[in-house]
Amino acid sequence: MANKKLGMGSVVATGVGLIVATSCLLSLGQGSAAIGTTFIISMVIACAINILFALSVSELNSLMPNITGGLPQYTLASIGPFITIVIMVGGYLACNTMVSSAECAMFGNTIHSVFPHTGIPASAYCVVLVAILMIINLNGVDIFAKVQDFVAYALIVSLLILGILGTLKIGVGHPVNQPAVLSSKFSDITGLCGLAFFLFIGCEYVIPIGDKIDNPRQKIPAGMIISLILVLTFQIFMCLGFKNYTPWAQLGKSTTPHVLYGTLLLGPVGTYWMAVVSVLAVVSSVNTVISSLAYIAAGMAKIGLLPEIFNKTNKKGAPVAGILLFGGIILVINALGLSTSSSLSFLILCGCAFWMLSYFITHINVLIFRKRLPNAPRKFKVPGGPIIPILGAAGMAWMFWNISSDPAQRIQIYIVCAVMVVILSTYAVIWIKKVMHRDLFKPFPMEEVMAMDNDLYAVYHDPKTGRLRANVSRGANVPDGSEA
C-alpha cells in the first residue's frame, strides 16, 4: 500500500514553520519602531515580491521534480558551476549561517531578559545551546523532529492571539497614547523593505518534500503563497499591537521586542508565554539549520561542488565536517558577544542580502529555461509569460539596493557582500578548474543534475572527466543522465 501523501495543511505547516523564527520578531520590532504602523506597507511590498519568487521556484520544481538540493541544482543546470558556488552554495550557506547566529543571539537575549538577575551573560546561553545542538546532530539524533510542527504552530497561534489582543486593546496592561505613524515618506517605507524581506524568507524549503505531496502541481505554489499570507497577517496584528501597548522608543531599543510586548500586554503571563514559545522555536529552527546545512554541503560535495570531506559521515551517519563547521561558526559568532540590537540587525541584513541574490538568480533561471527549453513539460508554469519572473528579479534587485534605510549601514553591508564574493569567487575558480575540470559558466546537462540525487551517481560517475568510470560496463545499472 502506498504511503499516504501530504495534504495542503502539511504543506502550509512546513512553509509557515520554516519562515517564522524569533529573529523575525526583532526585525518586526525594529521596523515598527522606525516608522510606526506604516511599516505594514513595507511588509506588504516584501511579501508580494516573495510571492513572485514562490511562483518562479514552483515552475523550476515542476521542470526538475523531486530533487533535494533545490536552488543550487537549478542554477547548476541553468548558468553553470561558478554562479552556483558563489551565490547558491557559498552565499546561501553563508546567509543561513548568519541568520542562525542572529537566531541564537535572540535565544540568549530572551533568557537573559526573563532571568536578568542570574548574572549569566546572554552569549553564554547561546554557546551552551549551540554546543548541545552540535552534539545532538553528531549523534545523528534529532530529538526535536517530532515537535517541529507543534512548535511552529504554537508560535504562530500565540503571536496571532497576542497581536489580536493588542490590536483590540483588550490586554491586562495599560494602552499607551502614541502616534500610529512616525513616517509616511515613501523613501523611509522603501528603505525598510530589505528588513521586511527577512520576515518572509524560507518558503522554498517546501520544495524538498514535493514527492510526498498529493497533487504537488497545485499544492506547492498554493501552499507557499498561503504560508506567506498567513505570516503577513499575524505580523500586521503584531505591528498594530505594538502601537497600542509598546512605546516606539522602548520597542526600538529592545533586543527581545516580543517579550517586551508580551509583558506590557499581559504582565508576567505574557513574559513567560513569549519566552517559552520563542525558546522552543529558536531551538527547533537552529537545530534544523545546523542539520540541513550540513546535509546540503554533503550533497554539494557528492556532486563535486565542495570538498569530499563534507560528504564523510561518522558511525551515526552524521556529516561531521558540515556540523562542526556551521555549528562552530554560529558558536564563535555568539561567543564574541552578539547581543546588541544594532549588531543583530546588521547580521540579519547581511544574510538577507545574499538571500536576495539567490532569489534573483532563481528568477533568471526561469527565464533561461523558458528560452532554452520552451517545449519541456512543466506541470506548473508561471502565468503571464516572462512578466512575473522579470518583475520578481527587478523586485529583488530593488530590495537589495534598499537593503537598509541607513546609507552608512548599507555601504557596510555591500562591503561584507563584496568581500564574501571575492573569497567565494577565488575558491570557485580554483575548485572548478583544478578539481572539477569543468568550464566556469557551462551549464551541466539537466539530466545529469537530476541524476546526481541518485547514490549510484557517485559510484559510476567520474567527476574529473564527466563520464562513466572506465571499469563500469555499459550495461550496468547507472542512473539516467549520469553519462555526460
d(CA 227, CA 373): 30
- How distant, in Å, are the alpha carbons of 43, 80, 146 from that of 305? 36, 11, 32
Q: Which of 157, 188, 229, 149 is nearest to 33 (CA)?
A: 188
Q: What is the pLDDT of residue 24?
A: 80
pLDDT in tens, 103-142: 888 888 888 888 888 888 888 888 898 898 888 888 865 4
Listing DSSP states for 87-99 in one string gives IIIIIHHHHHHHH
Out of 95-99, 301-305, 439-443, which region has the weakest mean confidence (pLDDT)? 301-305
Q: Using a pLDDT cut of 90, give the percent of the chain over it.
A: 35
Mean pLDDT to the nearest integer, 459-484:
51
Amino acid making up residue 331? L
Q: Is the dihedral of CA 448, 390, 406, 188 positive or negative?
A: negative
pLDDT in tens, 51-85: 999 999 999 988 888 776 678 889 999 999 999 98
C-alpha cell of 139? Answer: 549523534
Half-sphere exposure (Cβ direction) of 362: Cα atoms closer than 13 Å:
29
Q: How would residue 349 be classed by pLDDT, with cut points 50, 70 and 90?
A: confident
d(CA 135, CA 149): 22
- Please classify residue 184 by burial: count the beta carbons closer than 10 Å to its beta carbon, then call 0-12 exposed, 13-18 middle and 19+ buried: exposed
For the chain, the domains span: 8-453
Mean pLDDT to the nearest integer, 386-414:
92
339: pLDDT strictly greater than 60: no
Residues in Cβ contact with 275 at an 8 Å cutoff, skipping those fewer than 6 apart: 110, 111, 113, 114, 259, 262
298: pLDDT strictly greater than 50: yes
Burial 466-476 (b: 16+ CB within 10 A, else e): bebeeebeeee
Q: How would residue 367 be classed by pLDDT, with cut points 50, 70 and 90?
A: very high
- Would you say 136 and 145 are in contact if contact means Cβ atoms under 8 Å apart? no
Phi and psi angles of residue 192, each rounded to the nearest 5 degrees, phi first: -105, 5
Query: pTM of the full predicted structure?
Result: 0.83
d(CA 88, CA 59): 18
Q: What is the pLDDT of residue 203?
A: 80
304: pLDDT strictly greater than 60: yes
To which H or E segment does residue 272 belong? Answer: helix 268-302
pLDDT in tens, 165-188: 999 999 999 999 999 999 999 989
Mean pLDDT to the nearest integer, 362-374:
95
Mean pLDDT to the nearest integer, 363-385:
91
Listing DSSP states for 376-430 in one string gives S--SS--SSTTHHHHHHHHHHHHHHHTS-SSHHHHHHHHHHHHHHHHHHHHHHHH
DSSP state of 461: E
CATH number assigned to the domain with residue range 8-453, chosen from the 4 options 3.65.10.10, 1.20.272.10, 3.30.40.10, 1.20.1740.10? 1.20.1740.10
- Would you say 301 and 309 are in contact if contact means Cβ atoms under 8 Å apart? yes
- Would you say 23 and 180 are in contact if contact means Cβ atoms under 8 Å apart? no
